[in-house]
Amino acid sequence: MLEITSKNNQKIKDAASLKMKKTRQEKDLFLMEGIKNLDMALKYGKVKTIFTSIGLPKLGQDIETYKVNDEIIAKLAASTNPEGVVFICEALKPQKEKKDYHKILYLDHINDPGNLGTMIRTAAAFSYDAVIMSEGTCDLYNEKVIAASKGSIFLIDCIYDDIANYDKPIIVSVLDDDTVPLSEAKPLKDFILVIGNESHGVSEEIITKASQKVKIEMSDKIDSLNAAIAAGILMNHYK
């Protein structure tokens, strides 16, 4: 295994530059860290380069790997406890065709990366086929999205696209008068469940097109649930 000892090495600088969205988009690459994520990435993704300060088991794949020190790991990692492994992955490609998407989670301008990552993890847990993200939803490869998704980005197609490109019944959760309590809402097999922006909710345009408007019944002392919590409750119903 080759060794890199300086954090000013060009390979390290190039890897660190992937912390910026602009570079990720230019190079079609992103950074991940941790042993469990590496397992997932080796199984389901395309790992390009590995930097490690610990001993790794046999990979079973021929991947460019560098032995580095903890200082370099700290420079590349997002967390304070990166477990001695940081690696570069190729940007993800959809695994299914659009026509094979039955259960879609559509995210309408989700801002918070933790929410995005958690919703991807939940959608994968409930066997959704895709997470479609509107323009203006935060970057899939943001380090906080990656951390919150716990490796689930490899298990479900995550695509930036417009809801207009999908012809399916739309479900939204709103607090209007003409909404049905979630517990009484009919299950569907083919649908788009929409989760709106943390502050502004679902766009008016999408609400107009919705075929099911449901509400999660709750105390009137609270304005709303956290977006990822609402998404979890809705996906547990529509699964």
- Interface with its own copies (CB under 8 A): 114, 118, 121-122, 124-127, 148, 150, 152, 155, 182, 216-219, 221-223, 225-226, 228-230, 232-233, 236, 239
Q: Compare residues 60 and 187 and give the one whose CB is closer to its own copies.
A: 187
> What is the closest distance, in whole angstroms, from the C-beta atom of residue 68 to its own copies in the complex?
26
> What is the closest distance, in whole angstroms, from the C-beta atom of residue 91 to its own copies in the complex?
21
> What is the closest distance, in whole angstroms, from the C-beta atom of residue 26 to its own copies in the complex?
27
Q: Are strands 170-173 and 191-196 parallel, antiparallel or unpaired?
A: parallel
Q: Compare residues 201 and 232 and give the one whose CB is closer to its own copies.
A: 232
Element (H, E) at 42: helix 35-44
Cα–chain center distance at 106: 12
CA 75-76-79 angle, to 5 degrees, is 90
Q: Compare residues 80 and 219 and give the one whose CB is closer to its own copies.
A: 219
**Tokens 């490899």 found at:** 154
Q: Compare residues 29 and 40 and give the one whose CB is closer to its own copies.
A: 40
CA nearest 107: which of 99, 117, 98? 117
Q: What's the CA gap between 155 and 126, in Å, rounded?
A: 11
